[in-house]
Amino acid sequence: MSLEAEEKLTASKEDIEEAEKFKTQANECFKKQDFNTAIELYTKAIEKNPYLAVYYANRSFAYLKTECFGYALSDASKAIELDKTYVKGFYRRATANMSLGKWKEALKDYEYVTKVRPTDKDAKLKYNECNKIVKKIAFEKAISVEDNKKNIADTINLEAMSIENDYIGPELENGKVTVNFMLGLMDLYKNQGKLHRKYAYKILLDIKSYFMKQPSLIDVSIGDNDKFTVCGDVHGQFYDLMNIFELNGLPSETNPYLFNGDFVDRGSFSVECIFTLFGFKLLYPNHFFMSRGNHESATMNQMYGFDGEVKSKYTAQMAELFTEVYNWLPLAHCLNKRVIVMHGGLFSRDDVTLEEIRKIDRNRQPPEEGPMCELLWSDPQPQNGRAPSKRGVGCQFGPDVTNQFLELNKLDYVIRSHEVKNDGYEVAHNGKCITVFSAPNYCDTMGNKGAFITLNGKDMIPNYTTYEAVPHPNVKPMAYANTLLSLMC
């Protein structure tokens, strides 16, 4: 008998009963979509009785719901280690790997499930869907060798696109975005209309040309008496984006904004969000700023809905063009040489400088490690030091890491996004690391508030405005997401 098996036999009856109580409470919280409390309770169950696979599998599922894919993967693997016949553990691990874009690993687990449960229709469906994706990726990789120099933007022929007589939406004036165009575009979208493909393509081509000329780190100057607004993730929640403008005023040369990544995915009005934001960027290039988020990437877009939404509302060609555009989005902004803003967070190295960020070669899909990856994926943690990321990508960094980075680069504090917060924002690391998240009631389930930050150039003190979600048309989040995600067990 192994040592672990012997230890398992020594678990007291009281601990076993206590663990079951915690699991029951956790399950209730999970049903109410209070996933963070569920995680805490599953953890208590594990502390009382760390030998039951179901506790780890359940916590893995809760971690999946909170996008802690790295932790979810670890828990699922632990469940399998404890019980190699526990099918749900393989399901969870497959889902975690899939969420991290590790399709081959996910396919192995689905394949195992179909072998041990040959009559399980759900398992067979997931295996087939995952297998399709693996084959599709392999095919695309094969042909990409031939098309390596192919540039989608160069294949777009705007002249060949005619405007139909029955089109009633806004029109570019001499090929340019104007205030009237933007007002018309927002009204069109509020009424669930669609921008003509010719204008949509023109905006994408123009915005790509603009971003290609920008460095990876943008310096932003704010006058002493000028207001500046920083928004976090909006994730395709167009009607909440409109509410931000209602509360804080439309973007203009006297009302500048920075949107800090994750404009798309999950919410099913991502096309409306991104064309509104790109339109304002073209209208006010020196007073409207956009940072790349981890969801401005091909893998995330294929999984979480944006790719499917663009193909549904426009074409597969446009979806590819978006990928090209996103590769050129700046990675960070420095406000008045005092505040750095990036989507994710800080680094696994202590010596990263603003100059290094400025020179990052960003025209690519996010790598799995290094400064570019960490700018998009990292998260703060309350304790000092660093830890592996709960997401499985990037790193977690403590207050000492933040202080050292700020001192090295002579900065006051960091603003980042990337994480749902109940109040829409969170101040951590003794006020030196601020999270802002602008998608209220994220995915129509989380019940969180949204927030944005306003500051002025003189003192750069952050002020927080919070707000609730507003109604939207009856199109559910993830409506265009990968089929496998909607099948998640």
Catalytic residues: 295
CA distances, 485 to each of 58, 87, 101, 479 (Å): 17, 18, 12, 10
214/220 Cα distance (integer angstroms): 12
Residue with tokens 């900065």, as numbered in its chain: 411
Report d(CA 281, CA 246) in Å as an integer: 18
Identify the three-state secondary structure at position 268: coil
Angle at 359 between CA 358 and CA 364, to 5 degrees: 105
Residues 180, 169: Cα–Cα separation, whole Å? 11
Q: And the tokens for 360? A: 């990052």
* Distance of alpha carbon 6 from alpha carbon 10, whole angstroms: 7
Which of 414, 413, 415, 409 lies closest to 355 in space, CA to CA?
409
Q: Are 366 and 299 in contact (CB under 8 A)?
A: no
Which residues, other chains included, contact 306 with Cβ-Cβ below 8 Å and sequence gap of 6+? Answer: 236, 264, 265, 270, 271, 295, 300, 319, 322, 480
- Residues, the chain: 489
In terms of Cα–Cα distance, which of 217, 251, 232 is closest to 340? 217
Structure tokens at 416: 């980042």
DSSP 85-122: T-HHHHHHHHHHHHHTT-HHHHHHHHHHHHHH-TT-HH
Q: Are 22 and 45 in contact (CB under 8 A)?
A: yes
Q: Which residues contact 165 (CB under 8 A, 6 or more apart)?
A: none
- Of 347, 387, 398, 404, nearest in space to 370 by CA: 347
CA 205 to mean position of chain CA atoms: 24
* Strand boundaries in 208-343, DSSP class E: 217-220, 227-231, 257-259, 288-290, 332-335, 339-342
Alpha-carbon span 405 to 200, nearest angstrom: 40
